[in-house]
Structure 1
Amino acid sequence: MPKGRPIDATSPFGSHPAGGLARAAWKLIDGGGFRATLRRKAGGLVARLFPGPYDVEAGSLKFRLYPGENYDDRKILARARLPEQAEHALIGKWLRPGAVFVDVGANVGTYALFAASRGARVLAIEASEATAAKLGFNIAANEALEGFGGVKVMLTAVGEEEGRLTLWTSARNWGFATLAGDVAEAEAGEWQAQDVSVRPLADVLGEAGIGRADVMKIDVEGFEDRVLMPYLEASPRSDWPRVVLMETNCSAAWKRDPRETLTAHGYAVEGETEDNVLLVDRTDHAT
């Protein structure tokens, strides 16, 4: 488990209110206006002074935030809303009550909880034990929400074959964790190595009893191809997800481009953001 502030997954939500000074400090860092070097130094100081945890509501959802060590937590605290607004807008219309949402690289749950709040049934897959503990707390804090579809968490990394690999985790952003060693080598900063179990996506979905996902989101920092391509090759075409939201900002680390395979089999790009692409199965009239 990476080094960091002890995780409080037992005290009730609301035990760690976020004071105005902490919010203001993180909002200042989030707002920019600093040169890169000064921003990093100022961010490090704020992380030491106001590391969290803080209990905050954003978009009607409850989160226990550790902004000193997670980018998404910083964004929620600074902006008082969920991050990934553009991505949520792209997938929102497919997240109907009862829809199946598979979240590969679930982090602290900003996608998983958004989907569950729409009534979707969610499988959240997370490789880091520490991050999964935070995710589990956030899920429990929201389970009483009306219309909440429910979230099942599976603690595993996903890759080409069953085994063990090194998960590289950024000390300042536990949500930026990758099995692609070249991604870690290319990024400046302090990295921590964890030995984690890895399973093919087909096996994980089979154990969870999922035949076809309505929406699949994959965000694993340059390992997206090694998650999705073996699944497409091992699964019947009828089991391929109706909608795929895939992070592309580390696509230079891909060995194969899943976009080419998906578009060759009837998918179309229906939206793009700075970091992600949305592909929709146009052979499926249900979409």
Structure 2
Amino acid sequence: MGSKILVDDTSPFGTYEGGDRFRKQISRIRLLPRNWLGKRLMFALRRLARKHIGDCVDMELFGSKMRLYQRGNASEKRALFAPQFYDLEDRLALAGLAKDGAVFIDIGANIGLYSFSVARTFSNFDNTKIISVEPHPEIHRRLAFNRSLNPELPITLFRGGIGEKEGEMQLLTGAGNLGQTRILREEEAPHPESITVPIITLTALCSKFNLERIDGIKIDVEGFEEAVLLPFFESAPDSLLPRLIVIEDNRREWATDILATAAKRGYRIAKKTHMNLLLERS
């Protein structure tokens, strides 16, 4: 694991066990209640537990085998130690869409935390499909490794970004947090550490995977939501509009009011969670 962004996708699952002491500590943390005291205890116990593992650990999360890294990716660390505090309402809302033929698109999948969480429920139904979209090549390797450990799940991967047109764009890795990786806008100056990644429209993604319906979408693209959603809202037929959209609340960064545009297609804010808005279509 000598690359700048740590990835070991060759060692077999179980190579990084963490030891009995760590397993006992993390079991206690995952049982903490979702209240103020539970959160305070979680932070304290997590600091202790982190000392007993290296860069990564192999263990079960959301009912799936996963290799999880404790540094450099805030979402991954949060879910590893205390999944009950990681976007629980948002994940449950998406899992609640499960039925035969249901489709979930995870845009900005990171290592697949939403995908694997929702997939456990989707896998109880026939012909379900989850498309996990992640443009960063190294994060995608982590995602692909975890996908390989759980071949029974209805998860399909796409390495690329979603934008307003097809082509290529520059991706800038978040400083100290891979979850803050973002697409450079065309008007931004080039960055020496940016990565060139393929990009397609959401409509093109649906065509690529022969999707005739979408039940849920999660979008976590660090302020790039307009480029993902606005062209889709303009051109998508009603039959393709998802029942639920979980979108990071970046209203202060949007040049166009996405919520007003969404309202014209029948969406309303059903709930505001810690970081996201849940948009439902009636």
Please give the range of the TM-score, normalised by the shorter of the 2 chains. 0.7 to 0.9
Structure 1 residue 109, shift from structure 2 partner: 0.7
Structure 1 residues 4-83: aligned runs within 5 Å: 4-19=4-19, 20=21, 31-32=42-43, 52-79=55-82, 83=86
Structure 1 residue 93, shift from structure 2 partner: 1.6
Residues 228-278 of structure 1, C-alpha deviations (whole Å, 9 max, x = no match)? 111111222322112111111x33222222211122222222221021111
The question of whether the paired residues in 2 share the 8 Å contact of 1:125 and 1:157 is answered with: yes
Structure 1 residue 11, shift from structure 2 partner: 2.4
Distance in 2 between the 1:181 and 1:56 partners? Answer: 37
Structure 1 residue 51, shift from structure 2 partner: 5.0
Structure 1 residue 175, shift from structure 2 partner: 2.1
- Structure 1 residue 128 corresponds to structure 2 residue 136: yes
Are residues 236 and 97 of structure 1, via their aligned partners in 2, closer, same or farther at CA, if it must alter by over 3 Å? closer
Indicate the residue corresponding to 2:263 in structure 1. Answer: 263
Indicate the residue corresponding to 1:167 in structure 2. Answer: 171
Indicate the residue corresponding to 1:93 in structure 2. Answer: 96
| Residue aligned with 1:153, SS | strand
TM normalised by structure 1 equals: 0.79
Are residues 277 and 80 of structure 1, via their aligned partners in 2, closer, same or farther at CA, if it must alter by over 3 Å? closer
Are residues 157 and 115 of structure 1, via their aligned partners in 2, closer, same or farther at CA, if it must alter by over 3 Å? same
The question of whether the paired residues in 1 share the 8 Å contact of 2:105 and 2:214 is answered with: yes
Where do 5+ consecutive residues of structure 1 fail to align?
34-41, 186-190, 283-287
Distance in 1 between the 2:251 and 2:156 partners? Answer: 28
Distance in 1 between the 2:78 and 2:201 partners? Answer: 31
Residues 128-152 of structure 1, C-alpha deviations (whole Å, 9 max, x = no match)? 01111111111121224xxx3x111
Indicate the residue corresponding to 1:138 in structure 2. Answer: 146
Residues 54-93 of structure 1, C-alpha deviations (whole Å, 9 max, x = no match)? 1121232221011112112211332265722121122232
Indicate the residue corresponding to 1:220 in structure 2. Answer: 221
Structure 1 residues 104-115: aligned runs within 5 Å: 104-115=107-118
Q: Which moved more, 1:16-25 or 1:223-232?
A: 16-25
The question of whether the paired residues in 2 share the 8 Å contact of 1:246 and 1:276 is answered with: yes
Are residues 68 and 234 of structure 1, via their aligned partners in 2, closer, same or farther at CA, if it must alter by over 3 Å? same
Aligned pair count reads: 257
Percent identity over the alignment is 27
Are residues 165 and 51 of structure 1, via their aligned partners in 2, closer, same or farther at CA, if it must alter by over 3 Å? farther
Indicate the residue corresponding to 1:103 in structure 2. Answer: 106
Residues 136-172 of structure 1, C-alpha deviations (whole Å, 9 max, x = no match)? 111121224xxx3x11101111111122222111242
The question of whether the paired residues in 2 share the 8 Å contact of 1:242 and 1:280 is answered with: yes
Q: Which moved more, 1:234-243 or 1:104-113?
A: 234-243
The question of whether the paired residues in 1 share the 8 Å contact of 2:162 and 2:199 is answered with: yes
Residues 105-134 of structure 1, C-alpha deviations (whole Å, 9 max, x = no match)? 111111111121112410111110111111
Distance in 2 between the 1:164 and 1:173 partners? Answer: 23
| Residue aligned with 1:118, SS | helix
